[in-house]
């Protein structure tokens, strides 16, 4: 009986150990499979899934504001006939859709070359092409071009205009819904102030947009300069130079006399009047000095 009890106890213990080992193996297998599945579900280092890549691409490509650039320049060109060349430049600019804001012409003289200046506004899209055509009108002496990015300024003006427009719309709604005179007057006062600010900002925005759309270029056309005479190197050349200097001085003196001639007659009349007045005064003084002398003569004799 004891032997059978021991045998039964041993059998139960062995069975329990075997069952425990079986369950341990099953749970280990399940854990291994679960770990494998989780590792398979996780992306490898450095690898980005399609969904994640789509999110990154969407965040990296925002809607950027269009760049706003103000371009200005200056150009100096030597041409045989500056005034006629300025007319050609005006035609080139207007045909491209631009305009001429100002034009100044100076005809040539003996000591000054002819010159014509223009301030032109060129469409920004055709700036390079039109500038090349202007350079082809003669010999380029100087060219300067500068560009300023005003994107932030334009965006700020747009935002402020939008905000003020919304404020104006709200005030108009308040005016329409006003039930008392005080509310109506208060809304009108605020509306006048907001509208003035809005008009000023709109004007600034329009002016900036015009500078962006039309580049400003100051163009100057000049004739070839007058060549200065050389320095004399011999006796005869010195004589000629001296004679020319004498003629120039005489010509200058004649010009001065010609300028003074219109003033000579009035000055002569004034001088004559002054002389007559001085002489008349002297005569009166002389007569006054002689009269007391003649009147006191007999009195003095009688006293004696």
Whether 107 maps to a domain, the answer reads yes
Whether 159 maps to a domain, the answer reads yes
Per residue in 2-17, pLDDT (tens digit) is 444 444 444 444 455 4
Q: What are phi and psi of 102, to 5 degrees?
A: -155, 155
Whether 158 maps to a domain, the answer reads yes
Q: How high is the pLDDT of residue 33?
A: 44
Q: How high is the pLDDT of residue 31?
A: 41
Q: How high is the pLDDT of residue 234?
A: 60
Whether 118 maps to a domain, the answer reads yes
- Residue 154 structural domain: 69-222
Whether 127 maps to a domain, the answer reads yes
Which residue bears the tokens 């380029």? 140
CB 158 within 8 A of CB 204: no
Query: d(Cα 221, Cα 304) in Å, to the nearest integer?
Result: 102
Query: d(Cα 203, Cα 191) in Å, to the nearest integer?
Result: 18
Query: What are 97's two structure tokens?
Result: 């859709």
pTM of the full structure = 0.50
Q: How high is the pLDDT of residue 10?
A: 47
Q: How high is the pLDDT of residue 112?
A: 76
Query: pLDDT in tens for each of the 304 residues of the chain?
Result: 444 444 444 444 445 544 454 444 444 444 444 344 433 333 433 333 343 343 334 433 333 458 899 999 999 999 999 999 999 999 999 999 999 999 999 887 777 788 999 999 999 999 999 999 999 999 999 999 999 999 999 999 999 999 999 999 998 998 888 888 888 888 888 889 999 999 999 999 999 999 999 999 999 999 886 444 444 556 666 666 777 778 778 877 777 777 777 877 788 888 888 888 888 888 887 777 776 555 555 554 444 4
Domain count for the chain:
1
**Please, what sign has the CA dihedral across residues 96, 101, 107, 113?**
negative
Whether 260 maps to a domain, the answer reads no
Whether 129 maps to a domain, the answer reads yes
Q: How high is the pLDDT of residue 165?
A: 93
Whether 41 maps to a domain, the answer reads no
């Amino acid at each position: 009986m004891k032997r059978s009890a021991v045998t039964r106890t041993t059998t139960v213990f062995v069975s329990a150990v075997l069952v425990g080992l079986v369950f341990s193996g099953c749970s280990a297998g399940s854990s291994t499979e679960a770990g494998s599945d989780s590792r398979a579900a996780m992306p490898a280092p450095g690898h980005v899934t399609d969904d994640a890549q789509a999110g990154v691409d969407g965040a990296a490509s925002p809607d950027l504001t269009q760049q706003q650039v103000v371009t200005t320049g200056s150009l100096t060109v030597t041409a045989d006939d500056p005034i006629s060349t300025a007319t050609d430049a005006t035609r080139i600019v207007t045909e491209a859709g631009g305009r001429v804001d100002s034009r100044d012409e100076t005809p040539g003289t003996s000591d000054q070359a002819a010159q014509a200046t223009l301030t032109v506004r060129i469409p920004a899209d055709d700036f390079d092409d039109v500038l090349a055509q202007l350079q082809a009108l003669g010999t380029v002496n100087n060219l300067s071009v500068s560009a300023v990015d005003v994107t932030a300024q334009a965006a700020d003006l747009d935002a402020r205009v939008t905000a003020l427009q919304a404020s104006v719309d709200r005030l108009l709604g308040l005016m329409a819904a006003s039930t008392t005179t005080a509310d109506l007057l208060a809304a009108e006062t605020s509306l006048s102030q907001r509208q003035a600010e809005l008009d000023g900002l709109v004007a600034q925005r329009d002016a900036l947009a015009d500078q962006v759309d039309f580049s400003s270029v100051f163009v100057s056309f000049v004739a070839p300069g007058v060549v200065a005479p050389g320095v004399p190197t011999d006796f005869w050349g010195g004589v000629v130079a001296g004679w020319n200097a004498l003629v120039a001085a005489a010509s200058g003196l004649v010009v001065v006399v010609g300028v003074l001639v219109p003033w000579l007659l009035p000055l002569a009349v004034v001088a004559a009047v002054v002389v007559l007045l001085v002489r008349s005064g002297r005569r009166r003084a002389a007569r006054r000095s002689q009269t007391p002398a003649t009147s006191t003569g007999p009195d003095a004799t009688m006293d004696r």
